[in-house]
Structure 1
Amino acid sequence: MKREGQSITRIASDTSAIIDGAISSRIKSGEYAGTQVIVPEAVVAEIEAQANRGIEIGFKGLEELQELRKLAAQGTIDLVFAGRRPNLDEVKLAGGGEVDALIRETAQENNALFVTADRVQSQIAMAKGLDVDFIVPRFIGYGPLRIEQFFTEDTMSVHLKNGVPPMAKRGSVSAVEFVCLRKEPCTYGELKLISRELIERVRSDPASFMELNFNGASVLQIGNMRIAIANQPFSDEIEITAVRPVAKVSFDKYRLSTVLKERIKEQRGILIAGPPGAGKSTFAAGIAVYLHELGYVVKTMEAPRDLQVPKEITQYAPLDGSMEKTADILLLVRPDYTIYDEVRKSSDFHIFADMRLAGVGMIGVVHANRAVDAIQRLIGRVELGVIPQVVDTVIFINKGEISKVQVLEFTVKVPSGMTEADLARPVIIVTDLESGRTEYEIYTYGDQVVVMPVGLEVKKPSWKLAEGEVKEVIERYATGPVQVEMVSDHKAFVQVLENDLPRVIGKGGNVINNIESILGIHIDVRKFESGDMKEKPSQKEFRPIIEKTKKHVILNIPELVTHDVEVYAGNEFLFSATVGRHGDIKVRKDSTVAADILSAIEEGELVTVRPL
């Protein structure tokens, strides 16, 4: 270590001190002013190699070397490059310390104070008898980052590219806008300054990480912000993308059914699916916190680590670049549940399956446009008969809400559409959790795996009555229009105006929970989206033109194209239907409904159509 009271006349720096900018900083403060600064050629070679590979810290090192040259030109220091450059074999063995040994050798030969910010390097240098000045990283006094000026409270992501005005995604998960932040395009110098600052923060802040570092691309995690930096030749121009969560949603806000909560607690295999930006990771973080609060041991596997979870939940990255090694460690840690963020590659699905079959409760996050697409991604990666043991529940998230939950079961049966008993085979049945209706069957047919949609839903007559009852109750709280759609015997979608949402849901969901307990129906309340509210005709009743053909009785009402309507004979309700795009309702001539229409006409009753 540096000897007290000893005047410093000559210093030699290693790569870490150059990249950290510590040498020029101490020269400007006067501590190293007037000294001879020796930069080993091995340091120059290491920085040059990093810059040529497009690694950001290499450019940071080049900037520091240029700053030292300026200080030397001003006469503040005497800058000297000494030692020899490492050969190809020594470069290949850099990870084993060959280049570091050359740097220490140069400092020893020149009898210089050895300056380093690398703890291992400092310990070895002291053991070798060198005078060492170990620069301890400064962890306090961080100011705001330049990139933070582009963020507001509702900004989800910021997109910066050379020659393009800065852009950002703003709003909530259910309503995102891509907006331009200013007219002036970003410049190369501005983006390089921002990227250097981000790299410097990662190197000095113990709460930040360099998640990935490739030729021309780096991924950083700074606080709750994930940043991707792309450079040429990987990208056509320098680009910086920063993403952060805009909301930390309480798990209770999702209003999960008791059945789904119980499935989550039973150490199952669950996939959380949805398109990019739908809120999958936010929901996964909510599940992690929920399970932790119930007393379970919860860990995460992430690359990069960006789930917003409390410190009690340990977040694991790829060990030595491999998630398989991370899984080996986790099996020794013995968690009750593991959240696997971004299950995408075949290796990810294999690791997920291995851990699940080992008895660990697994919850994976998968990109998919439909719930069934998440299941299809398992086909070919996991043996078909094992899929229900690996994944038995798929939760589909869209616009920050749970839009569908599917469960998987394994049985032996004759697939739907086949009639011969000898065609029975193992079949994976995919059913909707809320309604219990089978939606898909997965089985082998010859050499192919078939994912067959089955049981297309037909609205039951009783649903119309239920919709009316739900609408009547909701209208007591809403001031504007209410639209109700039954999707199963026990679930309804309700749409109201945005300013009516607080009244219908109530504080903490007390109003809607009370309505659900009274009606015995789970109600999913949403606001009207643009285009959802159909323009209703001003008239209440319409008289259709009635025609008879050989096969049909046709009611023609061109004013109500594509509208849902009810047909009456006098004041007696006959049936409900949807008017076709040509303005027609076709009823088979041999049906009871057609007979009722013709009977009403013969008796002189007025047949009318009323829009819903």
Structure 2
Amino acid sequence: MNVLPDTSVVVDGRVSERVADEFAGATVLIPEAVVAELEAQANRGEESGWDGLSELQRLADLADEDAIELEYVGERPDTDAVGAAKEGEIDALIRELAAEHDATFVTSDAVQSEVAQAKGLSVEYIAPKTDEADEIGRLGIEDYFDEQTMSVHLRAGAKPMAKKGDIGEMEYKPIGNEVMDDETVKEYANEILESAKRSNEGFVELSERGMDIVQFRDYRIAIAQPPFADAWEITAVRPIVKTSIEDYEFADELQDRLLDHQRGVLVSGAPGAGKSTFAQAVGEFLADSGFAVKTMEKPRDLQVGPEITQYTELGGEMAKTADSLLMVRPDYTIYDEVRKTDDFEVFADMRLAGVGMIGVVHATRAIDALQRLVGRVELGMIPQVVDTVVYIEAGQIAKVYDVSTQVKVPEGLMEEDLARPVIQIKDFETGKPEYEIYTFNRQVVTVPLTEGEQEESGMSKLARQEIEREIQSVARGPVDVNVEGQNRATVYVSEDDISYVIGKGGGRIDDIENRLGIDIDVRTHAEKPDSMNTGSSAEQPRGAVVTPEITKRHIVIPTEGHAGETVEVQADGEYLFTATVGRGGDIQVSRGSAIAEELERAIDRERAITVTGA
């Protein structure tokens, strides 16, 4: 009797089990294609490969005992064929060998069994050992969790650690005294991977050389190993609370707002604040209210009900996932997490296509979430993309903003001809405006309207640097500015510059006042009060000091660690301008612009140019 097993039945160890009775004295033919596939799996660190190689060793031992005859048949497939194993190339080679040797084809693969029978082969189908989810019990790593544990961190060469506590009040601390070794961490990792592959309660979200991400039941598990990491490490995270939208402040108002029509919502907060927990509560509320809800996640770890389909990257790109979802036409999509420029662009495209969007964004302040759109989405489109910002802190809603556009004179300016589109950010509870975003002298500025923040970075600061820029463009000597209110300022220049700044009949200063909407009084430095803050001499630089490069067309300001962020550029601590750093990590200012001229003057005077987060 000739018996030819395929890879699935060798991995399960089912051939050696049957030697005592059914296959006693049989000739077991092992295809070289099976050996190649098992070897490839073992080299990738997959437990199935090692299991299969162990079964081959057991069969060799049985052959030595004359319980069976063992032969290896066929040719070893090339690398391309092994790589295409999932597409059926290896299966086809094995079936051909079974037919060639007139052997009983043994498999635990239902599809392979059906195809082989259709080809006229003699087939013995053996059900897999563990094909049902209920055969997989608790993972070993679950023993490290209790009711207060949000995440467990196991690393070879270190004690097991965990984050414990309530949302927003987590403490990272040891949960064992024994230092973990490589073998123990590897055992946990192999158990997690195999359980995810065999169970319909889990799946492998990502598998790259050195990193696997698994979702198993409520656990999101990241497994890192050399060479990607310097040691074996497992990080397992699970939600410690599940909420409904009624558990949050402003629940009734937010429900009415979401049900009124599709919205663009950013859910923001610091890591671990409870953003995803709130987002899934919103998703389940919308699904219960009759909306079609989907998610876009990588990894898929939101704990939502079965009525909400969870999508991940399609072909490695969320843009392709978005294209597919636009064919499905959901009412709302939860995008967890929106981080990179590509994510914001996909979020904006779907929102502008009419899909309600809930985006989860890391931010340390509510306004920061909205500012991350600046430079990534055309300014005038921002309120159409995002009309609501929810800021989560310690598991609760700390702030809700309503975002809208008005054509008006920005707060603090007076002249009617300075009216422009202004994005207003209002407190959802009081309806009081707290920020305005608009274009001022070719810059996108975010101006806080609350008194506490205005003192440091509001309209007075903006007005000061804009007035200084305008006056410096016509003055030859130093310029100092004292902003005395929202619409009044005093400028101090050298006595020789008075006539240049005022102009014939006051025409030049009138033009500057009209452009800025501010009344300006021009005086000499001798009239300056001794107590006045005189700009760069009274301020200290903050942030990282950089060395700009002046090219033929641009001034290039290097930054480090700020790619895609909004930053402030200063000279000796004095504000120059705000900019969004490009993907390459540089800011490019076109020469000939007012900003470039002021920057060049600062460089010529050897003032310290610094870059700091806005």
Give the alignment's TM-score, normalised by structure 2.
Answer: 0.67
Q: Deviations over 1:568-611 (max 9, x none)?
A: xxxxxxxxxxxxxxxxxxxxxxxxxxxxxxxxxxxxxxxxxxxx
Counterpart in 2 of 1:497?
A: none
Q: Deviations over 1:166-203 (max 9, x none)?
A: 11112221321222121112222222222222222122
Counterpart in 1 of 2:143?
A: 149
1:130/1:235 CA distance change after superposition, 3 Å: farther
Structure 1 residue 291: deviation in Å? 1.9
Counterpart in 2 of 1:12?
A: 5
Structure 1 residue 400: deviation in Å? 0.5
Q: Please, which of 172, 179, 187 is the counterpart of residue 173 of structure 2?
A: 179
Counterpart in 1 of 2:116?
A: 125
Map 1:238-387 → 2, pairs under 5 A: 238-266=232-260, 267-387=262-382
Counterpart in 2 of 1:111?
A: 102
1:81/1:398 CA distance change after superposition, 3 Å: farther
Return the alpha-carbon distance in structure 1 between the equivalents of residues 24 and 237 of structure 2.
42
Q: Which moved more, 1:76-85 or 1:157-166?
A: 76-85
Q: Please, which of 189, 202, 210 is the counterpart of residue 208 of structure 1?
A: 202
Unmatched 5+ stretches in structure 1: 1-7, 460-550, 552-612
Map 1:459-478 → 2, pairs under 5 A: none
Matched, 1:194 2:185: no
Question: What is the DSSP-based 3-state SS (H/G/I as helix, E as strand, rest coil) of the residue aligned with 1:164?
Answer: coil
Q: Deviations over 1:305-345 (max 9, x none)?
A: 22112222222233344433333333333322222221223
Q: Deviations over 1:5-27 (max 9, x none)?
A: xxx7523222x4445x3437845
Q: Which moved more, 1:116-125 or 1:137-146?
A: 116-125
Return the alpha-carbon distance in structure 2 between the equivalents of residues 11 and 243 of structure 1.
44
Q: Please, which of 436, 439, 460 is the counterpart of residue 441 of structure 1?
A: 436
Return the alpha-carbon distance in structure 1 between the equivalents of residues 319 and 61 of structure 2.
53
1:185/1:421 CA distance change after superposition, 3 Å: same
Return the alpha-carbon distance in structure 2 between the equivalents of residues 187 and 158 of structure 1.
16
Return the alpha-carbon distance in structure 2 between the equivalents of residues 34 and 204 of structure 1.
33
1:61/1:416 CA distance change after superposition, 3 Å: same
Q: Deviations over 1:93-144 (max 9, x none)?
A: 5554333322333333343333444444333333333333253552033222
1:94/1:70 CA distance change after superposition, 3 Å: closer
Return the alpha-carbon distance in structure 1 between the equivalents of residues 266 and 162 of structure 2.
29
Counterpart in 1 of 2:56?
A: 68
Return the alpha-carbon distance in structure 2 between the equivalents of residues 272 and 67 of structure 1.
52
Counterpart in 2 of 1:564?
A: none
Return the alpha-carbon distance in structure 2 between the equivalents of residues 292 and 300 of structure 1.
12
Unmatched 5+ stretches in structure 2: 455-530, 532-614
Return the alpha-carbon distance in structure 1 between the equivalents of residues 188 and 201 of structure 2.
19
Return the alpha-carbon distance in structure 1 between the equivalents of residues 152 and 386 of structure 2.
35
Contact 2:16 2:59 in 1 (8 A): no
Return the alpha-carbon distance in structure 2 between the equivalents of residues 29 and 437 of structure 1.
83
User: Partner amino acid for 1:233?
Assistant: P
Q: Deviations over 1:252-286 (max 9, x none)?
A: 22132543332222321001111111111111111
Map 1:513-524 → 2, pairs under 5 A: none
1:376/1:22 CA distance change after superposition, 3 Å: farther
Contact 1:195 1:229 in 2 (8 A): yes
Counterpart in 1 of 2:75?
A: 84
Contact 1:12 1:112 in 2 (8 A): no
Question: What is the DSSP-based 3-state SS (H/G/I as helix, E as strand, rest coil) of the residue aligned with 1:348?
Answer: helix
Counterpart in 1 of 2:131?
A: 138
1:446/1:416 CA distance change after superposition, 3 Å: same
Return the alpha-carbon distance in structure 2 between the equivalents of residues 25 and 309 of structure 1.
44
Amino-acid identity (%):
51
Contact 1:305 1:316 in 2 (8 A): yes
Return the alpha-carbon distance in structure 1 between the equivalents of residues 188 and 103 of structure 2.
34
Counterpart in 2 of 1:597?
A: none
Return the alpha-carbon distance in structure 2 between the equivalents of residues 314 and 346 of structure 1.
25
Counterpart in 2 of 1:40?
A: 31
Q: Please, which of 162, 171, 184 is the counterpart of residue 168 of structure 1?
A: 162
Return the alpha-carbon distance in structure 1 between the equivalents of residues 37 and 444 of structure 2.
53
Return the alpha-carbon distance in structure 1 between the equivalents of residues 317 and 72 of structure 2.
39
Contact 1:272 1:284 in 2 (8 A): yes
Return the alpha-carbon distance in structure 2 between the equivalents of residues 439 and 78 of structure 1.
83
Map 1:485-496 → 2, pairs under 5 A: none
Return the alpha-carbon distance in structure 2 between the equivalents of residues 166 and 160 of structure 1.
5
Structure 1 residue 457: deviation in Å? 4.8
Question: What is the DSSP-based 3-state SS (H/G/I as helix, E as strand, rest coil) of the residue aligned with 1:296?
Answer: coil
Q: Which moved more, 1:192-201 or 1:85-94?
A: 85-94
Give the alignment's TM-score, normalised by structure 1.
Answer: 0.67
Structure 1 residue 29: deviation in Å? 8.9
Contact 1:69 1:79 in 2 (8 A): no
Contact 1:13 1:38 in 2 (8 A): no
Structure 1 residue 64: deviation in Å? 3.0
Question: What is the DSSP-based 3-state SS (H/G/I as helix, E as strand, rest coil) of the residue aligned with 2:135?
Answer: coil
Return the alpha-carbon distance in structure 2 between the equivalents of residues 93 and 214 of structure 1.
17
Contact 1:439 1:456 in 2 (8 A): no
Matched, 1:404 2:399: yes
Return the alpha-carbon distance in structure 2 between the equivalents of residues 298 and 435 of structure 1.
30
User: Partner amino acid for 1:138?
Assistant: D
Return the alpha-carbon distance in structure 1 between the equivalents of residues 341 and 91 of structure 2.
38
User: Partner amino acid for 2:131?
Assistant: R
Q: Deviations over 1:513-550 (max 9, x none)?
A: xxxxxxxxxxxxxxxxxxxxxxxxxxxxxxxxxxxxxx
Contact 2:185 2:232 in 1 (8 A): yes
Contact 1:270 1:362 in 2 (8 A): yes
User: Partner amino acid for 2:266?
Assistant: L
User: Partner amino acid for 2:127?
Assistant: I
